[in-house]
Structure 1
Amino acid sequence: MRSRWLPAAALLLTAACNPFLTPPPAVSHLPASYRPSPPAHRGGTLVLGDWEFPQTLDIYSAATEADFRAADLLYARLWGVDPSLQPYPDLVREVPTVENGDVKVAAGGSMTVDVKLLPGLTWSDGQPLTADDIVYTWQAHRSAFGRIEGMERRSDTEVVWSFGSVYAPYLQIGPQFWVLPAHHPQPAEVASGPFELAGREPGHSLTYVANPRYPDGRHGYFAHRAYLDRLVYRIYPSKTALLAGLRAGEADLGFNLSTNDLHDLQGMSRSAPLVFTGLRTEFLNPNHAANTATGQSPPWLDDGAVLEALDRALDRPALTHTELSGQGKPSRALFPSAMGTWVDPSAPGPSRDLAGARKLLDDDGWKPGADGVRQKNGRRLQFQLLAACATQAADQELAILKQQWQEVGAAVDTACQPRSAFFGTTNPDGAFDMTVYSNQWLPDPSAWADFADAGANWNRCRDPELDRRLAAGAATLDRARRQAAYLALQREWLAYHCTITLYEWPEVRQVAETLHNFAPAGGPAVDGWNAADWWLG
């Protein structure tokens, strides 16, 4: 259900006081494309501020954003994804495609991908980075690359991946293929990324220095040594302490922040907030089977008009204005807008249609009872909505949704659960009527397959048409055919209501005025994909 590289979470944010009385705060947003400025100064130390200490530097064991951020500085990928979600070569000479001859489909349907390393790459200890390291990484973490059935080493700089059938989203493997050193199995001993680890103080900080061997053999995006000399990843004991450190200028780049912090962040004289949406969406998960905890079926089972009415009754702009200080992007579309041409241009807008929702239920036989709750054939329009108890605002979002649905004649019982139970048993076991949480998606439509795999999913979606469209999109490398398959998928998904999108999540960073070229990417890059380009001045 969750993407491998970033855990899903219902991270519900606290609303500002009287949000409708004030306009959303003015904040900076990412440029449409990445255009790094040349450094006016080289050297210096950049301090990263967070209030969650990374638990591991083994990037394949990372479970939190802090884990990924800390390890991502050390390891380079085969190829990456820039802020416009376009692949770029990192350790490879070229991103493999059908057009350049690196991707081939055999007459029997099997597929190969030819991965060609740049010659002359080295690890931070001076040892060559070769095809042996790619093979070692794959053998050590096969579960992360389950679709790769075989790997043939052809030379020090070339390996060929083999797939039993066409695997259309193969481009998503490169940004998640952090090459590990075969000669140093322990994490963080040597680096291939722009920085190497120089020291750590558990619970307090990690110190990095520029990797002097990073430019070896490189060309293209990052053919230079990191412009900064050092990075210090400083961990504060609480968010309050982090905000104080940012205000005092102790940290140059702040993480683990939310729109609830914008009021404090905007008042800082040495830095400013950067707010952006990417591939993370918040959505509702209706159970399309009986609730295993109660044995009862939710009221929409075999009655599709109910979910359509609940969808139309949602006031998404009001929800994001209240909960996210107006910085989230209300949406009913399946794919995040960052996915560009994959997104259905005819997807319904986020505006509320309360009258239409009421009419749907009227026409479907759901009549208001004496208490205002609709009934049909002796059954009340009543169900439970669950969320993870992530923050104080979990109850607030549930209350907003409950109130909006009350206006259409639905009675909603709301509750939150500890994260361990919510993600560990409640969702996997189908012990719910409806849940709400978010997910960070990979930038390819195939990422939605887990939610519609012939019913093998938390929501118990069972729509053969969804399965057919997903299979069609994954079975061809032809972009036009994939586009057609996933366009039909989106329309069927929204009609079936496998999930119901609420909004695209706003991500918040605090950036010092002196920091240049910080531009978070939308793919599995967290924040440091271009750390070699960062400079202070």
Structure 2
Amino acid sequence: MKKTAPVAALATLSLLATACGGTSDGPSGKAAEGGTFSFALSADPGVLDPAMGVLGVTNTTLSLAYDTLVANSPEGKILPGLAEKWDVKPDRVTFTLRKNVTCSDGSKLTPSDVAENVNHIADPATKSPVYGVLVPVGMKAEADDAAGTVTLSTPQPFSFILESSTLMFVVCGKGLKDRSSIAHATSGSGPYTLTEAVPSDHYTFKLREDYAWGPNGAATKGSGMPEKVVLRVVPNEQTAANMLISGDLNGAIIYGADRKRLEATPGMGKATMSAGNGQFFYHQGDDRPAKDPAIRKALTQAVNLPELAGIASSGTGRPVTGLVGDPKPCQGDGVTGHVPAFDPAAASAALDAAGWKAGADGVRVKDGKRLSLRLLYVTTKGASTQAANEYLAATWKKIGVDVTLNGVIDTKLSESLNATQDWDVVWLPIGVTLPTQLVGFLSGPAAPKGANFAHLANERYEKLVAEAVTKPGEEGCKLWTESESALYDAADLVPVVENTVLVAQRNATFTVQAGLFVPTSIRMTEAG
């Protein structure tokens, strides 16, 4: 089957790992009319063209100003968005658009506008980093303006052709005619319009009072909708927490140590959200120790995964059931029973049997070569990630492995994984919403020629994926779950924990789902 995604899109997968939907213990109080809703972004969103954005905070920002054809409910049910209905076939989906949708410049949204968005991303000249991740490889769009429909099709059956539309932001109006104009501005049909952009400081949005075509027909007429939304760039979580407590912010996503402090603050609304998985991959290149499945299994058996999960998540994680985040299109558990159990004695015995004997300094040696691993991780994900990797290194040293920690910043991750290939194990948080988004990274041509950064060659996974992608609904989900299990059975990668974050709310309530605002959910409340 045709593989997905350019190598550069790997950064998209890692950086899209962000908050998904959850249940809120929100602040109570009467709705406060008008006003300004202020939310902290952990980094500057960068380029705002939806075809070029790769950061999680970019999509959070864009979700205020842009709509999608369909949306997800918190339970994973597909809801009407710009499209009021749809007809799904194995290799195509035809959407009938709502007739009352207008762009922020007053122009009417047409099926041709939607088609141009999809085809622009799919055009190789665009070099869009979201192609193959948010827009399936080979997808094309055809519009029928007279009938009010747009059809998205793929070269072969694609099991999530409808679900893939939940993350495709639709540009319209002036921005569609001049994409350069939306590098630092917006041109969408969403409920808010960007009115001021000060990079690395703040982004201000103004409410569109005529908006009435959100998910399931949601509108901006409701009581408590803020007239303005200000996204403030606050990289330091402690600073963001202080601003929440003082009332200078209405919302923020908190990953680290300040979470407990905010949860204990009176009047602070809080939601616990899924935030992607913590997991590690083994490099299976020809010259790497983990090429041997016995080595991978032994290394995995040596790790107390529940203990590692607690360290990696600071005790706030959940048991992991698969690679795809909420809202999950498939509800199966592919992890339980498929990851080697904790057994340090068995791990040592397996290394002995594989010919790796302890040397004078305790490090195992085979044919004159030391058993050495370079452990790669990102340093910008907080103290818990650092502690988790230090734990892995200490664990493997106990069974005679020489481990070197290699911490890098986000921008160096893709280079280290794909270009220099200077790693043997990588701790890689990934946040995706469809299993198809991972296929090109878990199979196919190996880096640097392809996106398969770990040099995986799991024939069972590839066979199951080739069948799963052609099957819709529950039939396809069973195969997708089984395909993931094949990876764990072979110890190609080791799922550790489903991370969670705190979405703190002060004098406001709102929903964040799959890293995106549900903008019509934002409500200001009177100070308590």
**By how many angstroms is 1:392 displaced?**
6.9
Q: Take 1:246 and 1:313, find their aligned partners in 2: how far apart are those partners?
A: 42
CA distance in 2, matches of 1:52, 1:192: 25
Asked whether the 8 Å contact 2:320–2:335 carries over to 1, the reply is no
The one of 90, 109, 117 aligned to 1:129:
109
Quote the residue 2:299 is aligned against.
310
Instruction: Provide the secondary structure at the position in 2 that maps to 1:325.
Output: coil
Look up the equivalent residue of 2:303 and give its one-letter code: L
Letter of the 1:461 counterpart = L
State how 1:127-526 maps to structure 2 within 5 Å.
127-143=107-123, 144=131, 145=135, 146-155=137-146, 157-184=148-175, 185=178, 186-187=181-182, 188=185, 190-215=187-212, 220-225=216-221, 227-236=225-234, 238-255=236-253, 257-278=254-275, 280-290=276-286, 297-301=287-291, 303-329=292-318, 331=320, 333-335=322-324, 339=328, 341-344=331-334, 346-348=336-338, 352-390=342-380, 393=383, 395-445=386-436, 447-453=438-444, 455=446, 456=450, 457-477=452-472, 479-512=473-506, 514-516=507-509, 518-521=510-513, 523=514, 526=515
Distance 2:521 2:218 in 1: 7
Change (3 A) 1:246 1:181: same
444-453 or 125-134, larger mean C-alpha shift = 444-453
For 2:389 and 2:30, the matched residues in 1 are separated by 47
State the Cα deviation string for residues 491-521 of structure 1 (Å, max 9, x = none).
3211222222222222232211x323x2322
What letter is aligned with 2:258? Answer: D
TM-score scaled by structure 1?
Answer: 0.81
Partner AA of 2:470 in structure 1: A
Shift of 1:166: 0.9
Question: Amino acid of the residue matched to residue 80 of structure 2?
Answer: P
TM-score by length of 2: 0.82
**Relative to 1, partners in 2 of residues 1:150 and 1:46: Cα closer, same or farther, differing over 3 Å?**
closer
2:14 to 8, 11, 19: 8
Alpha-carbon deviation of 1:78?
0.6
Preserved CA contact (<8 Å) 1:203 1:235: yes
Q: Which amino acid aligns with 1:242?
A: A
Counterpart residue type for residue 22 of structure 2: L
- Equivalent AA in structure 2 for residue 8 of structure 1: S
1:30 and 2:22 equivalent?
A: yes
Q: Are the aligned partners of 1:454 and 1:461 in contact in 2 as well (CA < 8 Å)?
A: no
Please tell me whether the aligned partners of residues 26 and 269 of structure 2 are also in contact (alpha carbons under 8 angstroms). Answer: no
Cα pair 2:15 2:56 within 8 Å, conserved = no
Cα deviation, residue 157, structure 1: 2.0
Correspondence 1:528 to 2:517:
yes
SS in 1 for 2:203: strand
For 1:424 and 1:8, the matched residues in 2 are separated by 13
Q: Structure 1 206/415 Cα, relative in aligned 2: closer, same or farther at 3 Å?
A: closer
- Structure 1, unpaired ranges of 5+: 12-28, 97-101, 106-110, 291-296
2:51 counterpart (19, 41, 60): 60
CA distance in 1, matches of 2:237, 2:492: 36
Question: 1:403 Cα shift?
Answer: 0.9
Distance 1:383 1:241, change over 3 A: closer
Q: Which amino acid aligns with 2:344?
A: L
Q: Deviations over 1:215-263 (max 9, x none)?
A: 1x668251443622221222347444333322211111013x3222224
Change (3 A) 1:531 1:371: farther
Aligned residues: 492
Separation in 1 of the partners of 2:41 and 2:360? Answer: 53
Q: Displacement, 1:214?
A: 1.2
For residues 364-418 of structure 1, give each alpha carbon's deviation from its aligned partner in whole angstroms, at most 9, with x where no partner exists. 4444444333344554433221223336746533321111112333221222234
Mapped to 2, the partners of 1:307 and 1:237 lie a distance apart of: 37
Mapped contact 1:385–1:412 kept (Cα < 8 A)? yes
The offset of 1:264, in angstroms, is: 3.7
Mean Cα displacement is larger for which, 304-313 or 379-388?
379-388
The secondary structure found in structure 1 opposite 2:512 is coil
User: Share of identical aligned residues, percent?
Assistant: 19
Give the CA deviation at 1:113.
1.6
Contact 2:40 2:240 in 1 (8 A): yes
Whether the aligned pair in 2 keeps the contact of 1:112 and 1:162 (CA below 8 Å) is yes
Letter in 2 for 1:400: Y
| CA spacing shift, 1:71–1:471, aligned 2, 3 Å | same
Does the 8 Å contact 1:259/1:506 carry over to 2? Answer: no
Shift of 1:460: 0.6
Name the amino acid aligned to 1:322: I
In structure 1, C-alpha distance between the alignment counterparts of 2:482 and 2:204, rounded to whole Å? 49
Secondary structure of the structure 2 residue equivalent to 1:329: coil
Aligned to 1:84: 75
Q: Deviations over 1:307-347 (max 9, x none)?
A: 11111221233223334320123548555586352332744
**C-alpha distance in 1, partners of 2:41/2:63?**
16
1:2 and 1:272, CA in 2 relative to 1: closer, same or farther beyond 3 A? Answer: farther
* Contact 1:131 1:159 survives alignment (8 Å): yes
What are structure 2's unaligned runs of at least 5 residues?
1-6, 124-130
Distance 1:264 1:319, change over 3 A: same
Q: Supply the AA of the counterpart residue of 1:153.
A: D
1:261-286 CA-partner distances (Å, limit 9, x unpaired): 224434544425533224x1222221
| Cα distance per residue 1:431-480 (max 9 Å; x no partner) | 32222221111233553442122544111111222211111111233x34
**How far apart, in 2, do the equivalents of 1:490 and 1:475 lie?**
16
- Inter-CA distance 367–190: structure 2 relative to 1 (3 Å threshold): closer
